[in-house]
Amino acid sequence: MKAYKTNLDEAERGQLQRYFHATKARIGILTNGHVFQFFTDLDEVNKMDEKPFAEINLLNLRKAPLSQLKHVTKTKFNLDELLGIAEELKYIKGVKDEIRKELTAPSDWLVKEMAQRVHSARRIRAQILDSFRRIVAEAIQSYIADRINETLDKAIKTVEINEHDHQSNEQDTAEAKISNDIVTTQEEIEALYIVRAICANLIDSDRIMEKDTKNYCNITLDGEPRQSFLRLHFNFVRKKKIAIFDQDQPEVVSVKHPSDLYQYKERIRKALNLKLEPSRGSEQNNQDFMLETENSDDVVSTQQETEVQFVLQHIRGRESEGAAIGELLQVMPGKTRPQIQRMLNRLQASGRVHMKGKARGARWHLVNDSQSSNRIPTRRS
């Protein structure tokens, strides 16, 4: 045991060496209270080695071989295993010391070895060695810097990944918390079933769904938030309310129980019908179009007739190759493709034009008199 500030590498070791010689001890420890050096007699039996096989600094345990020295402890002491570890640690420490020396000040051997490997000269002369000494030293420092940068880049990426994962976890936790805050009550479920019963004669009841939020519950068509036609204010409110989106007033009315929805069944059906009107309007347009194609010559207005004549004139000018819808869109910029398509369908139904080809390659042609007289009228079904 030496004084705390003693440099153990320069300390006198005679007493510890005499213990090795006079006793059968195989392990010796020299310490100043915070640095511990471990010795054995690997080089010569009963004679302490000049250099320790391991060293532990309590102020810097990062480099300490703690896992290898567990056999020094009383509970796990095993002399044979410890001597094997001591030999391995001794040589590892020796190789590290030599590598450190080479990296700090490259030896003649290393300089010559590197020159022989990379220089084109067949014989490495003293002049080449002198110039290569600086090159090898700079190459070593550059390599060390590259490795440090690689390690830092990996550490930075790891930190970024961990931060991203942490943010994602926080976001997931927040979303989960919001989701957990939304509770669909039994009264809201009951109200949904009542609305489905009220509207059962209008659409399939499965298309009526609920979209619950923290403050209210929407009754929607096909689960689409924009297709909400009824809103239930049943959460944390003593006086329950519903909002009916049927364009009538008052929009918001009070209810005491979900069964009170039956009092507003006509308004609820009207609100649903307003959401259904676009699709039903499309169906009605199809029906009107079918009737229109049967009697197109009788119901075409003056403006429509002018447009029809313009279309026929353009098709007549393109009779050899036919006219495509894309051309008609260009010459009639005020019309949409569906409008021009309906016009052509009416003309085809009345036997005035016919189509050749399919899809984008389709072309429209005029029907001559012989084709018109032999044409069998058809009706859309």
State pLDDT tens for residues 233-281.
887 656 889 999 988 888 889 888 888 899 999 999 999 998 887 655 5
Q: How far apart are CA 374 and CA 308, in angstroms?
A: 23
pLDDT of residue 231: 92
Of the residues 104, 121, 138, the one at which a domain ends: 104
> What mean pLDDT is reported for the chain?
79
Identify whether residues 330 and 271 lie together within a single domain: no
Identify whether residues 251 and 319 lie together within a single domain: no
Of the residues 104, 136, 169, the one at which a domain ends: 104
Instruction: Answer whether residue 70 shows pLDDT above 50.
Output: yes
Range of the domain at 29: 14-104
- High-pLDDT (> 70) share of the chain, %: 83
Domains in the chain, number: 3
> 30 or 306: whose pLDDT is higher?
30
Domain membership of residue 98 (yes or no) is: yes
CATH of the domain at 369: 1.10.10.10
Domain membership of residue 147 (yes or no) is: no
Identify whether residues 257 and 309 lie together within a single domain: no
Of the residues 104, 138, 164, the one at which a domain ends: 104
Identify whether residues 203 and 242 lie together within a single domain: yes
Domain membership of residue 379 (yes or no) is: no
Each residue of 326-353: pLDDT tens digit? 888 777 777 788 888 888 888 888 888 8
Mean pLDDT of the 130-134 span: 84
Residue found by looking up tokens 């070593």 in the block:
140
Mean pLDDT of the 107-111 span: 87
Identify whether residues 234 and 312 lie together within a single domain: no
Domain membership of residue 120 (yes or no) is: no
Instruction: Answer whether residue 182 shows pLDDT above 80.
Output: no
Mean pLDDT of the 281-285 span: 51
Identify whether residues 191 and 271 lie together within a single domain: yes
Domain membership of residue 132 (yes or no) is: no
Identify whether residues 315 and 352 lie together within a single domain: yes
